Structure 1
Amino acid sequence: MTTIALVGTGFVADYYMTTLANHPGLTLGGVWDHDPARLAQFSAFHKVRAYTSLDECLADTNVSIIVNLTNPESHFELNRAALEAGRHVYCEKPLGMTFEEARQVVELAERKGLIVCGAPANGLSDAQRLTAQLIDGGRIGTPRLAYAEMEDGPVFKDNWREWRSRSGAKWPGLHEFEVGCTLEHAGYGLSWLVALFGPVGKGQAFSALTFPDKGPGTEAISMAADFSVGCLSFESGVTARLTCGLAAPRDRSLTIMGDEGTIVVRDLWDDRSPVHLSRFDAKRSLLQRLAGRFERQRGRVLPLRFIHGAPVRYPFAPSASKLSAFPSKIDFARGIAAMADAIEKGDVPFFSGRRALHLSELALALNDGIGAFEPKSRF
C-alpha cells in the first residue's frame, strides 16, 4: 500500500479522485490547496483529510508520493520542495516552465535517490497497449509517419464559464488562455509518440496566437499561443506531426502509417478508444468502395469522413473500471499507480526521470514555437 497526497484541488483533481478507485494499492493521506474555500469544498465533497498547510502536507511521513496538481507556474517550486522533504513526486505537465527548471527537478531527484514522474497517464492506456502490440506484431510493417491531433475545438466560443468539475471547481479557462493550450494538451500526444517511437532527435516548432479575442472578460489577460504545430524526427526513424489548438474542430486522433498499412486511433483521450487497422494489400470495405464510386460519378466529395480499416478487438479485459466522463475518459490515477508499483519493485517507472524531462522539453519547445531544435535531454 502506497500513501499519496494531492496538492492542488482544482478542476483536474476530480479526475484523479474518480479514477483512484481503480487502484486499491494507493491510499490518499490528504489534500491541500492554497485556496481555503476550494480546499474545504473539495475535502467535504470527497470526505478526505485537508491539511492545514503545505508544510504539514510535506511533513506527513506516511506519504510517499506528492501528486502535484497545481498550476504549471507553480510546478517547479512545489516539485523542489517535495523532493527536499524526501518525497517522490508525480507532476502534472510540465515539470517546470523552462527546460532549466525541469532539468533541475530531475537532477535533484537523482541526487536524492527519489523518483519524479510526469503526467499524462493516457500514454499507459489500454488503447496505447493495443496499438503497440499491433506495431510490434508487424501488422503495418515498419512505421514511417504519424499524424497526432490535439485539437480541442473553439472552446472560447462555448459556455466555458459554466463548466464545473464533480466537486464544483470551475474550469480554469482564463488561465488556459494565458498559459497556452500546448502546455496543457500537447503532452497527451507526445506521451503516446514517445512511448511508441522513443526519443526525438530533432524537430521544428511553430506556434501562434490566432484568435486574440477570446470574448468578454478576457481582455485584461495576456494571451498565449492558441495553436502550435511540431514536426518531429524520432531517432528510431519515424517522422511525426503534432498539432495542438483551441480553434479547429475537435480531433484527438492518431494516424500511424507503415510500409504495409495504417493504424488509426480515434481518440487519445479515451482509455479504450476504437483502434482501426487497414493494410495496403486488403480490399477496402464495401461502404468505402460505394462511397468512392458515388463521388466519382457525382464529381463531388461526400460530407462524410471514413476511418480507413476495420476496428480491432481488444484481446484483453479493461484495465480500469472507472474513468472520467467524456471527453476525458482517461485513467488519470494509473500513472501514479504505475509509479508506486515500480518503486516497490525497485524498477524505474516508464514516464519518470529523463523521459519525463524529454516530454517537458518537447512541450515547451512547441509552446514557444522556437523553430528548429535538437532536444538536450536523452533517455
Structure 2
Amino acid sequence: MDGANNSSAREEMTRLPALRIAQVQADAPNPAQSLCNQLGDGPFSMVCLFVSPEADFAALTSAAQTLFAGADVLSCTTAGELGENGYEDGQIIAIGFPEENFATSTYVIDDISKMDEQSVVDTLIQQRIELNQRADTMESEFAFLLVDGLSLCEEKLTSVLASGLGTMPLFGGSSGDGTEFGQTWLAYNGAIRQDAAVVALVRSHCPVRVFSLDHLIPTETRMVVTGADPANRLVSEINAEPAAKEYARLTGKDPYQLSAFTFASHPVVVRLGDTHHVRAIQRVNENGELVFFSAVNEGMVLTLAQHQDMATHLEAGLSKFREEVAPDHILGCDCLLRRIEAEQTQKNHEISNILKRHNVVGFSTYGEQIGGLHVNQTLTGVAIFPPVAREDG
C-alpha cells in the first residue's frame, strides 16, 4: 500500500501541466523555433500564438506552421500579452494543447461581415458531433474564439455561434493592435486572415470552468441614446444632445479632454436580463460622436458604472477556482481597458502579480466573447484543472 502511495506521489510530482506554455520577445531571432523548443515534444492537438504587433506576424506564423506540423496553429495580434510576469508588452505567448489530454476541431469563418449564418450553424453542429464521437472518453468541453477585433461583427458572430454550439460553453477575444487601432491580424495554419474568425471546439480529460469577471457596479446615473449608427458602433446623440458633450457633462469632465483613461474610468453599462454588461467607449471622433467597442442602438438606456478595486476583485474572483483543486492554468482574454485602468491607477504591478500567481496566460483584447454575448472591460476565459485520473483498458 505504501508503495502504491509512493508511486502516486511520484506521478503527481512528475506530471506535466495540462497545458504547455512558452514565451519569447517579439524581436528575438527565430522566435518560432524558440517557442517550439520551450514547448517541448508534442504531439499537440492545437497551438495558440498571441503575438505582439511588434513581431513579424507573417514570418512567425509561417515558421510555426512548419514547426508544429500536425497541430492546428491559431494566431492573433494583441493589445498586450498575459505571460510569465502578468501584464506583458512586446512578447509572443505560445500555448500548446497536448493530444494526451485535448482533442480539437477547428473552424475558420472568412468574410464574417457577409457570413451565411445558417451554414455556420450547420457546420458547427456537424463538427461537434464528429468531435464527440472522436473524443468520447473526454468529458469536458469548451469552444474558444479568436475574431478580428476591427471587424465590427462580434455581436452577430457570437449570436450565431451560440446557436450552433448548444450547451458547449463559448469564450474568446477580439484581436488587437496595441493602442493604435490600425489593423489586426489572425492566422490559421500559416494563412493570414482579416474580417475572419477561428473557432476551436475542444474536448478534454481536464475539468474546465468558463468564466467572465468584471469589477463594475451600476450607479443611478442613466442616459438614453437618441442618435446612433449601430453598424459602425457610433453614438451621435445622448439625451438629445451631442454625445461627447453630454457624456462629459454627466461625468463632470471637459468635453475636449476625453481620453481612453476617461472612458476606462467612467464606463457605461447596459442591462440585459438580470445582469449588466459594459458597452465600452473607444474614442471621440472628429464629429464629436462616441465610437464604441460594441454596437449601441437608438433607444438603449446606458448607465454610468463605478469601479470596485480591480486588484481586490480579481484576487477574489480567481481564488474561487482554488477552493478544491487549483487550476493548472487559466487561459484569459483581458480587455485593453482593464490594462489602461491598471496603469493609470498604478495597480499594474499588483494586478500583474495576481495574474502571475494564478497562472493566467493569454492576451489583452479589443473585446471579449462569452456565450452569445460580445462584452467589454472583462477578464473572460477558461480555468483548466489537472486531468482526471483514468483507468487504462
TM-score, with normalisation over the residues of structure 2? 0.32
More strand by share: 2
